[in-house]
């Protein structure tokens, strides 16, 4: 039994079996509406709320996020419903309300922040934590207790449709940034839900729900570390299972991960919730259970505590098996005690809802927009630039005529991800306004160039999808008459066949959808300098853009940058914003090179024994600036114990003529090991702002566990030996390098070992000024404990 209070035990002792089961299921208030979950139409069932909740209810599912409802009106309804549960059910237990919140609260009129791939591109956990706090504040104000985020799946194949929900392809980056979100959300009083535990992103050929063939070492060393960090360092209070199977065993029925690892090894004491319909899927999709009752029994025994979004399996089917003696009621008790303990922790057992609900709410306040803007600006990645950018560059006048072309140039929907309310729900309600301002890239650029004398001409060119080429001629015509052309192409997020990326929208190839490549190439062929802006939810194969003389003059990548994304992209184009984003995922060479990760051993890359080359077009960590940063004089400890910590410090100088922010990236390679190791591995990173000519010394304190791996017995260890370290602008470039020796016996990693790198600016010297030792930025931006401490 879990450790729970006496109060919860006494409450549990009074419960009948129907009352127990009611506490471990959800009720979908607006069930039967838009499809926002896999097989929702087949799985959902209608039931009057009062009848359904006669014995109480565990969760209310997506009260605000299934259809557009006025937040104040729905809050009034919710408070009244909670009072009814308090006063008109025998035990008087309120419902826990959960919502999606990946890119902001998924509710009408609520702010939409950049998608998680943009979080990763920012390399700024502190800002992500700030965003999480704002999202949590909005949720708590509306009576929401649990958020179904963050997604901690490590990207393994960009063909997978849910890549835009992921943070990146490096487990440490995913873990640090994801844990920052957890801490921000939970700091506002809303429980975070880690998903999808585990292996979902490694599905076969990037197909949604497809089998996963990851071995135990890949699971332990790549896919599990972000979850471990969020549980142990972030204190996450809920976990959601993955839909997929691993080696033939569906995760929803696997106690090895949901109980043995999560609870017994990591000590997780929160609640495990089922992904929507995942319990019933054991019967109808995986065919490992003969009926929903057997599916419920398997899921409950594995460690799933609460069935979401409804009670398809945990109500009548499970009750029948308990009554027949086929399921031990103690398994039900275990789940119920955990669910009640969560409600006690959230204050729900004391909440009477006697107070009035909010009569006014601002879900898109100036604070929301400020963070949305800053995160969008930090996430835009400048991939290539021959000098055409910035458009308002120093020493040259503004272009007289600017062509703004492309299907995403004047689209608000193009700026938001799959789990934004706009693309998740409002796409089904075209008559309903968005409820807040979302300037497009075209509108943002017009504002940036206002007063410069530049004339802006526009053409759509083509759609995101489809084969219609009728608009190409107009796009070419406006491009020919311009001094510079900005073409904005990419994705349209949606679900299950609606859109080009998002849940259920997997890709067979990694070419830009539709005829967008033809549009870009036709514009380049005019001879007018072309700036390509990619607004996407996945990285695409854009090697053709690098062909000398046949590619765009500059390329920007923006991963669904949210409500302020159009303004942010326009700011980078004009030069008001100096780009500082870096790729959290490799830009692939081709679909045929997938799955690919920069965390590859020697034979995972090009070699003389294969005719294919998976080297990405742009590597993990790549990102240019309008200034230049020089990395020199990396110094590391000559030797450290295998179970110790090493110190590395590097000098970073802004050698350009404008202020900018650099993401200092520290990489390593374990030269010899008992199992094959990656040729490059991110150890830590630090975002630092520098004025022209300014120089800083950045120090990293690196626990050697950052070099840990599963040995031949699958024991997680740090082995003695030679380690190469370097700092550079990406994983593929060594600007300054050093070597250290790990010495002593093999260190077996324990949960007590540190997992997080601490970093700080220790010296700062302005141009032609004195050295200020120990001054400057002392915040360890990738130390989740330091940054996020209240």
- Rounded CA-CA distance 695/533 in Å is 32
- Rounded CA-CA distance 221/705 in Å is 11
- The burial class, CB within 10 Å (0-12 / 13-18 / 19+), for 2 is middle
Instruction: Count Cβ atoms below 10 Å from residue 392 Cβ, excluding itself.
Output: 17
H/E element, 668: strand 660-670
Does position 638 have pLDDT exceeding 80, yes or no? yes
Tell me what the mean pLDDT of segment 309-313 comes to.
96
Taking phi first (over 0 means left), then psi (-120 to 50 degrees means alpha), and beta for anything else, what does residue 359 get?
alpha
Buried b (16+ CB within 10 A) or exposed e, 516-542: bbebbbbbbebebbbbbbbbbbbbbbb
Q: Which of 136-150, 323-337, 443-457, 604-618 has the lowest mean pLDDT?
A: 604-618
> What strands lie across the sheet with 736-743, from one edge to the other?
639-641, 736-743, 721-728, 660-670, 681-690
Instruction: Count Cβ atoms below 10 Å from residue 461 Cβ, excluding itself.
Output: 30
- Rounded CA-CA distance 468/754 in Å is 55
pLDDT at 707: 98
- The end-to-end CA distance of the chain, in Å, is 32
Helices (H) and strands (E) in the chain, counts: 22, 28
- The burial class, CB within 10 Å (0-12 / 13-18 / 19+), for 776 is buried
- The burial class, CB within 10 Å (0-12 / 13-18 / 19+), for 175 is buried
- Coil/strand/helix, residue 416: coil
Does position 595 have pLDDT exceeding 70, yes or no? yes
Tens of pLDDT, residues 315-358: 999 999 999 999 999 999 999 999 999 999 999 999 999 999 99
Angle between helices 171-187 and 125-141 (to 10 degrees): 40
Residue (of 757, 733, 697) closest to 623 by Cα position? 733
Q: Are 569 and 533 in contact (CB under 8 A)?
A: yes
- Rounded CA-CA distance 84/748 in Å is 54
- Strands 771-773, 758-765: pairing is antiparallel
Structure token pair of residue 688: 């630092």
Structure token pair of residue 517: 């490549």
Residue (of 471, 466, 513, 467) closest to 490 by Cα position? 513
- Rounded CA-CA distance 664/688 in Å is 8
- Rounded CA-CA distance 313/45 in Å is 12
Contacts of 327 (CB under 8 A, 6+ apart): 296, 297, 300, 318, 321
Tens of pLDDT, residues 470-482: 999 999 999 999 9
Structure token pair of residue 23: 């506490």
Residue (of 544, 535, 538) closest to 589 by Cα position? 544
CA dihedral 74, 79, 80, 84 (to 10 degrees): 130
Q: Which of 243-257, 364-378, 590-604, 775-789 has the lowest mean pLDDT?
A: 775-789
Angle at 434 between CA 446 and CA 380, to 5 degrees: 50
Q: What are phi and psi of 737, to 5 degrees?
A: -135, 160
Does position 684 have pLDDT exceeding 60, yes or no? yes
Q: How far is CA 387 from CA 384, 456, 589, 676, in A?
A: 9, 20, 25, 41
Tens of pLDDT, residues 163-222: 999 999 999 999 999 999 999 999 999 999 999 999 999 999 999 999 999 999 999 999
- Rounded CA-CA distance 442/569 in Å is 10
Q: Are 667 and 682 in contact (CB under 8 A)?
A: yes
Q: Are 182 and 228 in contact (CB under 8 A)?
A: no
Does position 37 have pLDDT exceeding 70, yes or no? no
pLDDT at 145: 98
pLDDT at 782: 44
- Rounded CA-CA distance 41/31 in Å is 9
Tens of pLDDT, residues 733-784: 999 999 999 999 999 999 999 999 999 999 998 877 766 665 445 444 444 4
pLDDT at 34: 59
Sign of the dihedral through C-alpha 727, 732, 735, 741: positive
- Rounded CA-CA distance 338/322 in Å is 19
Secondary structure, 3-state, 575-608: CCCCCCCCCCCCECCCHHHCCCCCCCCHHHCCCC
Q: Which of 31-35, 493-497, 522-526 has the lowest mean pLDDT?
A: 31-35
pLDDT at 754: 96
Structure token pair of residue 674: 């008992």
- Rounded CA-CA distance 91/75 in Å is 23
Does position 400 have pLDDT exceeding 90, yes or no? yes
Q: Are 158 and 539 in contact (CB under 8 A)?
A: yes
Residue (of 463, 575, 444, 571) closest to 515 by Cα position? 463
pLDDT at 56: 97
- Strands 26-28, 59-61: pairing is parallel
Tell me what the mean pLDDT of segment 137-153 comes to.
98
Tell me what the mean pLDDT of segment 262-290 comes to.
98
Tell me what the mean pLDDT of segment 419-442 comes to.
95
Contacts of 378 (CB under 8 A, 6+ apart): 121, 122, 123, 124, 127, 580, 581, 661, 687
Tens of pLDDT, residues 689-711: 999 999 999 999 999 999 999 99
Tell me what the mean pLDDT of segment 662-666 comes to.
98
Buried b (16+ CB within 10 A) or exposed e, 212-242: bebeebbbbbbbbbbbbbbbbbbebbbbbbb
pLDDT at 394: 66
Q: What are phi and psi of 475, to 5 degrees?
A: -60, -40
Q: Compute the 3-state secondary structure of the chain and give helix, strand, coil in percent, each to the nearest 5.
A: 30, 20, 50
Q: Are 707 and 755 in contact (CB under 8 A)?
A: no
Tell me what the mean pLDDT of segment 564-568 comes to.
98
Residue (of 100, 125, 119, 224) closest to 167 by Cα position? 119
Q: Are 567 and 439 in contact (CB under 8 A)?
A: yes
pLDDT at 773: 64
Tens of pLDDT, residues 536-548: 999 999 999 999 8
- Rounded CA-CA distance 599/676 in Å is 11
CA dihedral 718, 721, 722, 724 (to 10 degrees): -10
Residue-averaged pLDDT of the chain: 94
């Amino acid at each position: 039994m879990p450790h729970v209070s006496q109060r919860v035990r006494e409450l549990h002792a009074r419960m009948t079996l129907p009352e127990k089961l009611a506490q471990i299921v959800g009720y979908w208030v607006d069930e039967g509406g838009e499809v926002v979950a896999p097989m929702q139409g087949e799985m959902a069932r209608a039931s009057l709320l009062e009848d359904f909740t006669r014995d109480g209810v565990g969760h209310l599912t997506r009260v605000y996020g299934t259809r557009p409802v006025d937040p104040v009106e729905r809050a009034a309804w919710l408070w009244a419903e909670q009072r009814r549960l308090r006063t008109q059910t025998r035990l008087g237990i309120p419902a826990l309300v959960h919502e999606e919140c990946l890119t902001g609260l998924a509710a009408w009129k609520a702010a939409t922040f950049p998608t998680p791939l943009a979080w990763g591109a920012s390399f700024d956990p502190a800002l992500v934590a700030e965003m999480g706090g704002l999202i949590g504040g909005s949720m708590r104000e509306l009576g929401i207790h649990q958020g179904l985020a963050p997604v901690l799946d490590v990207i393994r194949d960009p063909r997978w449709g849910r890549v835009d929900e992921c943070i990146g392809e490096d487990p440490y980056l995913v873990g640090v940034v994801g844990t920052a979100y957890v801490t921000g959300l939970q700091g506002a009083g809303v429980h975070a839900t880690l998903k999808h535990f585990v292996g979902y992103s490694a599905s076969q050929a990037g197909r949604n729900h497809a089998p996963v063939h990851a071995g135990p070492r890949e699971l332990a060393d790549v896919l599990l570390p972000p979850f471990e960090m969020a549980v142990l360092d972030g204190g996450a209070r809920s976990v959601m299972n993955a839909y997929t199977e691993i080696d033939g065993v569906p995760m929803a029925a696997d106690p090895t991960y949901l109980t043995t690892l999560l609870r017994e090894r990591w000590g997780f004491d929160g609640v495990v919730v089922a992904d929507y319909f995942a319990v019933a899927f054991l019967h109808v999709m995986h065919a490992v259970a003969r009926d929903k009752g057997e599916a419920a029994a398997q899921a409950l025994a594995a460690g799933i505590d609460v069935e979401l979004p409804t009670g398809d399996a945990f109500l009548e089917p499970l009750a029948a098996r308990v009554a027949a003696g086929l399921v031990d009621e103690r398994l039900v008790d275990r789940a119920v005690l955990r669910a009640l303990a969560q409600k006690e922790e959230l204050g729900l057992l004391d909440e009477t809802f006697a107070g009035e609900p909010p009569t006014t709410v601002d879900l898109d306040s100036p604070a929301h927009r400020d963070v949305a803007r800053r995160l969008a600006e930090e996430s835009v990645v400048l991939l290539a630039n021959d000098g055409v950018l910035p458009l308002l560059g120093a020493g040259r006048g503004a272009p007289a005529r600017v062509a703004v072309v492309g299907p995403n140039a004047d689209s608000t929907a193009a700026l938001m991800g799959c789990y934004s309310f706009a693309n998740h729900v409002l796409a089904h309600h075209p008559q309903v306004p968005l409820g807040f301002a979302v300037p497009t890239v075209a509108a943002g650029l017009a504002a940036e160039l206002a007063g410069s004398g530049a004339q802006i001409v526009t053409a759509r060119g083509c759609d995101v999808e489809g084969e219609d080429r009728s608009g190409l001629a107009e796009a070419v015509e406006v491009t020919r008459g311009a001094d510079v052309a900005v073409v904005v192409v990419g994705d349209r997020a949606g679900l299950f066949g609606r859109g080009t990326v998002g849940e259920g929208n997997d890709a067979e190839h990694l070419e830009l959808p539709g005829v967008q490549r033809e549009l870009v190439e036709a514009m380049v062929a005019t001879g007018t300098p072309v700036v390509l802006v990619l607004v996407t939810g996945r990285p695409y194969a854009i090697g053709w853009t690098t062909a000398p003389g046949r590619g765009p003059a500059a390329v920007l990548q923006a991963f669904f940058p949210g409500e302020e994304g159009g303004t942010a992209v326009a700011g980078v184009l004009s030069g008001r914003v100096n780009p500082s984003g870096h790729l959290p995922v490799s830009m692939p060479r081709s679909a045929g090179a997938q799955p690919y990760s920069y965390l590859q051993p020697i034979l995972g890359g090009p070699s003389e024994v294969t005719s294919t080359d998976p080297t990405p077009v742009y590597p993990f960590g790549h990102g240019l600036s309008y200034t230049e940063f020089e990395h020199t004089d990396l110094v590391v400890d000559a030797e450290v114990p295998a179970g110790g910590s090493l110190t590395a410090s590097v000098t970073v100088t802004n050698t350009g003529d404008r202020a900018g922010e650099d993401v200092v990236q520290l990489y390593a390679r374990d030269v010899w090991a008992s199992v094959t190791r990656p040729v490059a591995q991110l150890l830590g990173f630090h975002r630092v702002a520098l004025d022209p000519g300014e120089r800083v010394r950045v120090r990293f304190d690196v626990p050697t566990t950052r070099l840990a791996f599963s040995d031949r017995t699958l024991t997680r260890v740090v082995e003695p030996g030679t380690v190469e370290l370097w700092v550079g602008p990406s994983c593929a470039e060594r600007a300054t390098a050093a070597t250290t020796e790990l010495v002593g016996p093999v260190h077996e990693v324990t949960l007590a070992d540190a997992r997080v790198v601490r970093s700080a600016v220790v010296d700062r010297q302005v141009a032609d000024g004195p050295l200020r030792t120990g001054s400057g930025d002392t915040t360890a931006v990738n130390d989740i404990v330091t940054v996020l401490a209240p």
